[in-house]
C-alpha cells in the first residue's frame, strides 16, 4: 500500500466539483481527509492522504492536477530547525501521528513521512524550531 | 572514609580526579557498591536545561557624551529596568517587547522578550537602544537612539534570582474544556497530556538533596561559562516533604546564580516563547558535587525511579492556589512517555531537555578532568530542612470596605 499526503488548492470555480469522489471511482484508491476549509477568497484548501497502488495514486494525482487543482506534497511543509531545537520534547506529546518522537537518548526525531502539517508542534515549541514553509515554497507534485 | 575539598582539588590539579556524571554514578554504585564508589569517585557532575523564568541580566552600557541618567529604555524593543544609577540596567527574562500584542489575540505568541534579548546579546547581535531621561545638572542629555552589542558593554552579568528548582510539578488540565496555555506548556483537556520540567536524576539539587555541598559560593557551570551560586533562590523551600532517601516529593530548594554573560554560549542560554503565557529564558546549569563520603555517594546515585513529582491540575488547583495533587509519579514513568493517572494512561511531555542536561554534565566533567575547574566549598550553607526558612503565600489582601448607602 502506497500513501501520499497532499495539500490541494481548489480554485473558486472548482470548489463545487466532486473531484475526489470521481478519483476514488476511476483510480481504485481511497482517501482520508485530514482537514478541509474554504478561504476568504472562496478557494478550497484540503489536506488529503491518498492510499492505493503507487501508479494509481500517481495517476490520480495527475488527474486532480489536470482538473486545475494545485497539488503540493504535505510532508515538505514542516521542518524542524535543529539549530533552534533544544530536544526538550514539548512538541512530541502534541503530535497526533507520532511523526515527532524521542529516541533512546531523549533527542527529538522528526519523521516527515508521517507528518500531516497540523502545526500543533509549532504552537507547543518554545524555541521557534518548527518551521512552516510558505505554500509557494512547498514543492509541487 | 571521608575526603576533603583540598584532597579532591589536589587530585583535580594533578589531572588524577575521578569524575563521573550523575547518570554514570547510578551504575557505579549499583555495580561496585556505595563504599567503593565513595572511595573511588571524587566528583559527580550534574546538569539541567529548561525554562527558568526568574532570570535576568545586569548590564552597563557606558556613559554618553554629554552624560545621561537614563530613566526609561528599551533594548531590541524590550523595556529594561533603569531605576539604578545612570547607565546600568536590569533585563528581566520575562519582560515582553513593548509592541507585543500579548494575549489580545489568544493565545499570544510572545515571539520576543527579555529572554530573547539576553540570547541575542550573547550571540553578539547588534541591538537598538532607545532611551529617555529628564536631565539633571550632572546628566544633561535627555534622548538617545543607538545600537549596541555585548562587546560594547562594560559589564554583562547574568543574575538569576531563582533557578534549578529541586523537583517540580507535573502539569495537567483536568477541568477546562479547552486547551490551556501555561508556563508548563499547552495542556490539552481531559488530562490528554501531562507536562514535566526537571532533569530528574541529572538535576543538581536532586543529587544533593540536603544542600550539604551546594551553597553560597559554589562554583558552577552557567550557560556555557563559569558561574557561582550567590544565595539561596527566591521561594527556596527546604521544609518540603521528603521520601526515605531525603529527596523532596515536590518543588523544594532553589538557587540564585551569577555569571559573566560575555563568556556564555547560546547553546546553553536560549530565549523561550510559551504560547499564551509569555517569554522566558532557558538556562543551562551544571553543578559538580564532591563525593566527600558514603552519604554523598548514596545521594548522587539517585535515579529517576527514586524521584517522584506531584501531578497538579493547572486548570483549577494551581491558579486557585489550592494544595491539591492528583497523585505522585516517578521520573522513570514520566520519561517512558506515559503515566498512569487513576487508571487512565496519560501521554507525557517535557519542557526540560535531557540531552542538553547530559551535555552540560559531560562538559563540566571535561573541565574538571582537564584540571581547569576546581571545586569551591560553600562559604555558607543554604537554609536547611531543619531551619525556620519557609516559602509562604501572601497575606490575604485587606478587603476594601464597602460604603453603606
Residues A68 and A127 in one domain: no
Answer for the pair A80, A95: CB distance below 8 angstroms, yes or no.
no
Q: Give A37-58 pLDDT, tens digit per residue.
A: 998 988 999 999 999 999 999 9
Question: B21 has which bridge partners?
Answer: B45
Minimal CA separation from A88 to chain B, in Å: 4
Q: How far apart are CA B332 and CA B193, in angstroms?
A: 16
CATH number at residue A131: 3.30.70.20
Last residue of one domain, picked from the residues A25, A55, A73: A73
Interface contact A109, partner B, CB < 8 A: no
Check pLDDT > 60 for residue A140.
no
Residues A111 and A90 in one domain: yes
CB within 8 Å: B111 and A128: yes
Answer for the pair B218, B229: CB distance below 8 angstroms, yes or no.
yes
Residues A85 and A105 in one domain: yes
Q: In terms of CA atoms, which chain A residue is nearest residue B354?
A: A106
Answer for the pair B153, B62: CB distance below 8 angstroms, yes or no.
yes
Last residue of one domain, picked from the residues A73, A90, A125: A73
Identify which of A92, A112, A111 has the alpha carbon closest to the alpha carbon of residue B354: A92
Identify which of B89, B205, B223 has the alpha carbon closest to the alpha carbon of residue B155: B89
Percent over 70 (pLDDT), chain A: 94
Question: A136 has which bridge partners?
Answer: none
**Segment (H or E) for B131:** strand B127-132
Q: In terms of CA atoms, which chain B residue is nearest residue A128?
A: B273
Half-sphere exposure of A125 (CA within 13 A, CB side): 23
Q: Report the pLDDT value the prediction gives residue A94, as an integer from 0 to 100.
A: 97
Q: How far apart are CA B51 and CA B65, in angstroms?
A: 39
Interface contact A131, partner B, CB < 8 A: no
Find chain B residues with C-beta within 8 A of A86's C-beta.
49, 270, 282, 353, 356
Residues A60 and A87 in one domain: no
Q: Report the pLDDT value the prediction gives residue A119, as an integer from 0 to 100.
A: 92
Q: String of b and e for A29-45 (b: at least 16 CB within 10 Å)?
A: bebeebeeeeeeeebbe
Check pLDDT > 60 for residue A141.
no
Q: Report the pLDDT value the prediction gives residue A75, as an integer from 0 to 100.
A: 78
Of the residues B1, B138, B241, B394, only one is catalytic, namely B138
Residues A59 and A113 in one domain: no
CB within 8 Å: B50 and A88: yes
CATH number at residue A65: 3.30.70.260
Identify which of A93, A67, A74 has the alpha carbon closest to the alpha carbon of residue A138: A74
Minimal CA separation from A121 to chain B, in Å: 10
Residues A69 and A51 in one domain: yes
Check pLDDT > 70 for residue B189.
yes
Instruction: Count CB pairs under 8 A between chains A and B.
Output: 70
Q: Give B322-333 pLDDT, tens digit per residue.
A: 999 999 999 999
Q: In terms of CA atoms, which chain B residue is nearest residue A82?
A: B267
Residues A44 and A16 in one domain: yes
Minimal CA separation from A110 to chain B, in Å: 16
DSSP 3-state of B134:
coil
Predicted confidence band of residue B154 (pLDDT cuts 50, 70, 90): very high
Last residue of one domain, picked from the residues A17, A44, A73: A73
Q: Nearest by CB to B272, which of A87, A107, A127?
A: A127
Check pLDDT > 70 for residue B180.
yes
Interface contact A94, partner B, CB < 8 A: yes
Interface contact A127, partner B, CB < 8 A: yes
Q: Nearest by CB to B185, which of A102, A105, A124?
A: A124
Residues A84 and A133 in one domain: yes
Q: Give B99-140 pLDDT, tens digit per residue.
A: 999 999 999 999 999 999 999 999 999 999 999 999 999 999
Q: Which residues of B touch A (CB under 8 A)?
A: 49-51, 107, 111, 185-186, 188, 193, 195, 270-275, 280, 282, 335, 337, 347-356, 358
Residues A64 and A101 in one domain: no
CB within 8 Å: A124 and B335: no
SS3 letters for chain A?
A: CEEEEEEEEECHHHCCCCHHHHHHHHHCCEEEEEEEEECCCCCEEEEEEEEECHHHHHHHHHHHHHCCCEEEEHHHCEEECCCCCCCCCCCHHHCCCCCEEECCCCCEEECHHHCCCCCHHHHHCCCCCEEECCHHHCCEC
Known catalytic residue at B138? yes
Residues A130 and A90 in one domain: yes
Interface contact A86, partner B, CB < 8 A: yes
Q: Report the pLDDT value the prediction gives residue B405, as an integer from 0 to 100.
A: 61
ipTM of the complex: 0.94
Boundaries of domain holding A68: 2-73
Identify which of A126, A98, A99 has the alpha carbon closest to the alpha carbon of residue A112: A99
Interface contact A97, partner B, CB < 8 A: no
DSSP 3-state of B227:
strand
Q: Which parts of B167-230 fold into alpha helices (H)?
A: none
Q: Which parts of B308-395 fold into alpha helices (H)?
A: 331-335, 354-369
- Average pLDDT on B353-360 reads 98
Q: Give B229-269 pLDDT, tens digit per residue.
A: 999 999 999 999 999 999 999 999 999 999 999 999 999 99
DSSP 3-state of B211:
coil
Q: Report the pLDDT value the prediction gives residue A135, as an integer from 0 to 100.
A: 64
Q: How far apart are CA B214 and CA B5, in angstroms?
A: 13
Find chain A residues with C-beta within 8 A of B347's C-beta.
93
Q: In terms of CA atoms, which chain B residue is nearest residue A102?
A: B337
The count of structural domains within chain A is 2
Q: Give B305-356 pLDDT, tens digit per residue.
A: 999 999 999 999 999 999 999 999 999 999 999 999 989 999 999 999 999 9
Answer for the pair B93, B118: CB distance below 8 angstroms, yes or no.
yes
Q: Report the pLDDT value the prediction gives residue B374, as an integer from 0 to 100.
A: 98
- Average pLDDT on B206-229 reads 98
Q: Give B272-293 pLDDT, tens digit per residue.
A: 999 999 999 999 999 999 999 9
Q: Report the pLDDT value the prediction gives residue A28, as an integer from 0 to 100.
A: 93
Amino acid at each position: 500500500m502506497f500513501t501520499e499526503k497532499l495539500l490541494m488548492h481548489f480554485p473558486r470555480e472548482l470548489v463545487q466539483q466532486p473531484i475526489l469522489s470521481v478519483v476514488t471511482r476511476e483510480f481504485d484508491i481511497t482517501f482520508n481527509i485530514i482537514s478541509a476549509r474554504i478561504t476568504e477568497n472562496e478557494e478550497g484548501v484540503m489536506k488529503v492522504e491518498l492510499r492505493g497502488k503507487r501508479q494509481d495514486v500517481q495517476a490520480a494525482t495527475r488527474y486532480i492536477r489536470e482538473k486545475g487543482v494545485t497539488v503540493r506534497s504535505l510532508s515538505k511543509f514542516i521542518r524542524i530547525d535543529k539549530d533552534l531545537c533544544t530536544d526538550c520534547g514539548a512538541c512530541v506529546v502534541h503530535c497526533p501521528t507520532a511523526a515527532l518522537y524521542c529516541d533512546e537518548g531523549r533527542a527529538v526525531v522528526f519523521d516527515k513521512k508521517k507528518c500531516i502539517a497540523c502545526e500543533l508542534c509549532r504552537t507547543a515549541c518554545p524555541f521557534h524550531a518548527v518551521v512552516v514553509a510558505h505554500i509557494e515554497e512547498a514543492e509541487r507534485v | 572514609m571521608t575526603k576533603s575539598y583540598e584532597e579532591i582539588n589536589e587530585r583535580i590539579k594533578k589531572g588524577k580526579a575521578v569524575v563521573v556524571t550523575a547518570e554514570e554514578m547510578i551504575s557505579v554504585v549499583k555495580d561496585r557498591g556505595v563504599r567503593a564508589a565513595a572511595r573511588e569517585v571524587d566528583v559527580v557532575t550534574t546538569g539541567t536545561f529548561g525554562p527558568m523564568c526568574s532570570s535576568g541580566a545586569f548590564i552597563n552600557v557606558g556613559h554618553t557624551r554629554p552624560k545621561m541618567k537614563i530613566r526609561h529604555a528599551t533594548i531590541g524593543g524590550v523595556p529594561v529596568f533603569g531605576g539604578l544609577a545612570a547607565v546600568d540596567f536590569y533585563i528581566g527574562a520575562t519582560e515582553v517587547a513593548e509592541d507585543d500584542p500579548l494575549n489580545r489575540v489568544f493565545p499570544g505568541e510572545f515571539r520576543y522578550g527579555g529572554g530573547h534579548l539576553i540570547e541575542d546579546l550573547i550571540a553578539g547581535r547588534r541591538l537598538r537602544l532607545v532611551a529617555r531621561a529628564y536631565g539633571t545638572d550632572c546628566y544633561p542629555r535627555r534622548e538617545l537612539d543607538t545600537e549596541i552589542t555585548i562587546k560594547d558593554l562594560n559589564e554583562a552579568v547574568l543574575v538569576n534570582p531563582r533557578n534549578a528548582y529541586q523537583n517540580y510539578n507535573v502539569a495537567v488540565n483536568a477541568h477546562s474544556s479547552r486547551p490551556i496555555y501555561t508556563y508548563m506548556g499547552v495542556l490539552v483537556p481531559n488530562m490528554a497530556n501531562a507536562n514535566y520540567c526537571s532533569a530528574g536524576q541529572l538535576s543538581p539539587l536532586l543529587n544533593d538533596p540536603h544542600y550539604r555541598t551546594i551553597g553560597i559560593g559554589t562554583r558552577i557551570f552557567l550557560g556555557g561559562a563559569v558561574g557561582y551560586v550567590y544565595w539561596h533562590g527566591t521561594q527556596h523551600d527546604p521544609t518540603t516533604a521528603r521520601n526515605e532517601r531525603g529527596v523532596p516529593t515536590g518543588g523544594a530548594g532553589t538557587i540564585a546564580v551569577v555569571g559573566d554573560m560575555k563568556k556564555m554560549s547560546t547553546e546553553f542560554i536560549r530565549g523561550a516563547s510559551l504560547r499564551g503565557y509569555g517569554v522566558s529564558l532557558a538556562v543551562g546549569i551544571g553543578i559538580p558535587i564532591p563525593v566527600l563520603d558514603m552519604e554523598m555517594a548514596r545521594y548522587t546515585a539517585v535515579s529517576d525511579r527514586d524521584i517522584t513529582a506531584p501531578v497538579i491540575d493547572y486548570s483549577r488547583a494551581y491558579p486557585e492556589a489550592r494544595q491539591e495533587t492528583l497523585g505522585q509519579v516517578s521520573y522513570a514513568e514520566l520519561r517512558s512517555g506515559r503515566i498512569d493517572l487513576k487508571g487512565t494512561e496519560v501521554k507525557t511531555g517535557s519542557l526540560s531537555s535531557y540531552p542538553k542536561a547530559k551535555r552540560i554534565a559531560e562538559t563540566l566533567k571535561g573541565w574538571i578532568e582537564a584540571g581547569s575547574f576546581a571545586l569551591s566549598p560553600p562559604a555558607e550553607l543554604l537554609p536547611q530542612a531543619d531551619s525556620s526558612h519557609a516559602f509562604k503565600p501572601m497575606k490575604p489582601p485587606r478587603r476594601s470596605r464597602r460604603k453603606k448607602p
